């Protein structure tokens, strides 16, 4: 009878182990994320008139977007969602955000500062950046593969991607890997589920 008891107890322990170990390992293992490129060097001016380079983000996890302050369509949604991310990590000095204006002629530091105040941007590591337009366009289209372009026939005068890029502490652009093993290259700045996914992946990297 005792032998049956021992067998039963062993079976329970075995089943518990099969259920629990993957959860424990999953919680403490590194995130299963792809590296899809390195952030190229950049140097622009932020809303406070300070020169900001990629070196200012060293050791931080940060999010990248391309926008402009007079955008009549997707930018307000993108930046309201970015503020949600800011607030999720309130007080964490290791999270940064880089918002590059694709209309730098209009978006001078004072305009960017007013925009930041209107959206409740308080994270000291959230820099709204302006500078030489060709350099910003090259950074977007070639550095991050996030499309931006002039569009005179479109309201606002510009077209741009609504996606966010995620960068790790070593300056590498990262993405989640889907169930098929393919990188989900960018995070949709307009979709709530994608924002939730981005928050989860930021927590993993942090």
Lowest mean pLDDT among 23-32, 84-93, 110-119, 171-180: 23-32
Of the listed ranges 6-15, 56-65, 125-134, the one predicted with least confidence: 6-15
Does the pLDDT value for residue 71 go beyond 70? yes
**Whole-number pLDDT of residue 26:** 45
37 and 26 in a common domain: no
State how far the Cα of 32 lies from the Cα of 12, in Å rounded to an integer: 30
Residues 89 and 48 in one domain: yes
83 and 152 co-located in one domain = yes
Look at residue 200 in the predicted model and tell me its pLDDT. 96
* Digit-coded pLDDT (tens) for 137-190: 999 999 999 999 999 888 889 999 999 999 999 999 999 887 788 887 789 999
pLDDT tens digit string along 28-66?
Answer: 444 478 998 999 999 999 999 999 999 999 999 999 999
Token code pair at residue 91: 């007080």
> 127: helix, coil or strand?
strand
**pLDDT at position 16 over 80:** no
Q: E-assigned strands of 43-184?
A: 43-45, 51-53, 61-67, 95-101, 126-129, 148-150, 158-160, 163-167, 172-177, 183-184
Instruction: Judge if 4 and 48 occupy the same domain.
Output: no
Domain check: are 37 and 20 in the same one?
no
Residue 2, pLDDT score: 47
**Do both 19 and 107 map to the same domain?**
no
**Do 13 and 90 have their domain in common?**
no
Q: Are 174 and 166 in contact (CB under 8 A)?
A: yes
At 142, which CATH number? 3.40.30.10
The Cβ-side half-sphere exposure at 127, using a 13 Å CA radius, reads: 22
User: Which region holds residue 187: left if phi is over 0, alpha if psi is between -120 and 50, else beta?
Assistant: beta
Give yes or no: residues 24 and 78 share one domain: no
Cross-strand partners of 153: none
**Count of the separate structural domains present in the chain:** 2
DSSP 3-state of 116:
helix
The pLDDT value given to residue 5? 52
Q: What is the pLDDT of residue 20?
A: 47
79 and 13 co-located in one domain: no
Could you tell me the pTM of the whole model? 0.83
Domain co-membership, 17 together with 40: no
pLDDT band with cut points at 50, 70 and 90 for residue 22: very low
Distance from C-alpha of 44 to C-alpha of 50, rounded to nearest angstrom: 8
Same domain, yes or no: 114 and 19: no
pLDDT for the residue numbered 17: 46
C-beta atoms surrounding 134 within 10 Å: 9
Mean pLDDT computed over every residue of the chain: 88
Domain that holds residue 84: 33-205
Same domain, 159 and 171: yes
Are the C-beta atoms of residues 95 and 61 closer than 8 Å to each other?
Answer: yes
């Amino acid at each position: 009878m005792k032998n049956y008891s021992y067998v039963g107890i062993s079976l329970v322990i075995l089943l518990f182990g099969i259920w629990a170990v993957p959860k424990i390992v999953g919680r403490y293992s590194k995130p299963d994320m792809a590296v899809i490129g390195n952030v190229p060097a950049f140097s622009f001016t932020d809303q406070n008139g300070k020169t900001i380079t990629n070196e200012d983000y060293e050791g931080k996890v940060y999010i990248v977007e391309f926008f402009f302050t007079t955008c009549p369509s997707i930018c307000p949604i993108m930046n309201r969602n970015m503020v949600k991310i800011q607030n999720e990590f309130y007080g964490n000095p290791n999270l940064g955000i880089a918002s590059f204006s694709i209309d730098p002629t209009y978006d001078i530091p004072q305009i960017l500062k007013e925009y930041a105040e209107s959206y409740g941007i308080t994270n000291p590591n959230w820099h709204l950046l302006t500078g030489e337009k060709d350099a910003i366009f090259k950074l977007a289209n070639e550095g991050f593969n996030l499309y931006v372009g002039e569009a005179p026939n479109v309201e606002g005068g510009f077209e741009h991607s609504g996606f966010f890029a995620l960068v790790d502490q070593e300056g590498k652009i990262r993405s989640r890997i889907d169930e098929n093993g393919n990188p989900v290259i960018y995070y949709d700045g307009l979709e709530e589920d994608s924002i939730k996914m981005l928050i989860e992946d930021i927590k993993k990297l942090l």
